């Protein structure tokens, strides 16, 4: 295993955060939401990364509303297999983690606080 993804929305006290866009799309974090929001930006690296995420993109093709609160219950969306396999430890520890997780949260990259001043 060469990656070390430290997800910023999974907390040690058994809490997981989620991001919901104004149109009602549920995403595991702001990086995914941002990638989705930028789908009309043809120059967006973030959206390109979402399209490179095969399991996620396959879902979008099969059911474009799979994570939409307009058509699905919140319970069902956050209990979707993909959020407990691919976007979860089995996926992060695999040889093919989500490109967004790898880019944004490998080795705690997303951490940002004043303590970094010390370094």
Partner 1 sequence: MSITKCLILINIGMKHSFDFALTTYCQAKCRSCARTNPSTGEQADWLELKHMDLDVFKRVLSQSKNIEYDWIQFCGELGDPMMHPKVEDFIVEANKYVTTMIHVNTNGGLRNPDWYARMARDYPRLRIKFGVDGTDHDTNWLYREGVDWQRAMDNMTAWFTNGGVGAWHFLIFDWNWHQIPEAVDIAKKIGAPLEFKINNRQWGLITEENRKIAWRLLEEHYDKLH
Which residues contact partner 1 by CB under 8 A?
Answer: 13-24, 30, 33-34, 37-38, 40-42, 44, 69-70, 73-75, 78-79, 81, 84-85, 112-114, 116-118
- Please say which residue, 2 or 113, places its beta carbon nearer to partner 1: 113
User: Given the complex with partner 1, which of 4 and 74 has the nearer CB atom?
Assistant: 74
**What span, in angstroms and rounded, lies between the C-alpha atoms of 117 and 92?**
29
**Cα–Cα distance for residue pair 99/51, rounded to 1 Å:** 9
Give 52 or 81: the residue with its C-beta nearer to partner 1.
81
CB distance 75 to 29 below 8 Å: no
Residue 5 class from Cβ within 10 Å (0-12 exposed, 13-18 middle, 19+ buried)? buried
Q: Tokens 């949260």 identify what position?
A: 105
Q: Whole-number minimum distance, CB 74 to partner 1, in Å?
A: 4
Instruction: Pick between residue 79 and residue 94 the one whose CB is nearest to partner 1.
Output: 79
Closest among 109, 85, 107, 108 to 97, alpha carbons compared = 85
Work out how close the CB of 112 gets to partner 1 at its nearest, in angstroms, rounded to a whole number: 6
Please list, in sequence order, all residues whose beta carbon lies within 8 angstroms of the beta carbon of residue 95, skipping any fewer than 6 positions away.
Answer: 1
Compute the least distance from the CB of residue 10 to partner 1, in Å.
Answer: 10
Q: How far is the CB of 58 from partner 1 (least distance, A)?
A: 17
């Amino acid at each position: 295993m060469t990656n070390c993804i430290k997800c910023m929305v999974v907390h040690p006290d058994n809490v997981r955060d989620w991001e919901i866009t104004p149109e009602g799309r549920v995403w595991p974090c702001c990086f995914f939401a941002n990638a989705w929001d930028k789908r009309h930006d043809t120059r967006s690296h973030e959206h390109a990364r979402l399209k490179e995420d095969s399991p996620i993109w396959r879902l979008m093709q099969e059911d474009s509303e799979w994570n939409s609160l307009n058509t699905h219950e919140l319970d069902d969306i956050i209990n979707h297999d993909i959020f407990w396999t691919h976007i979860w430890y089995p996926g992060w520890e695999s040889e093919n983690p989500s490109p967004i997780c790898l880019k944004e949260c490998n080795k705690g990259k997303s951490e940002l606080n004043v303590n970094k001043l010390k370094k």
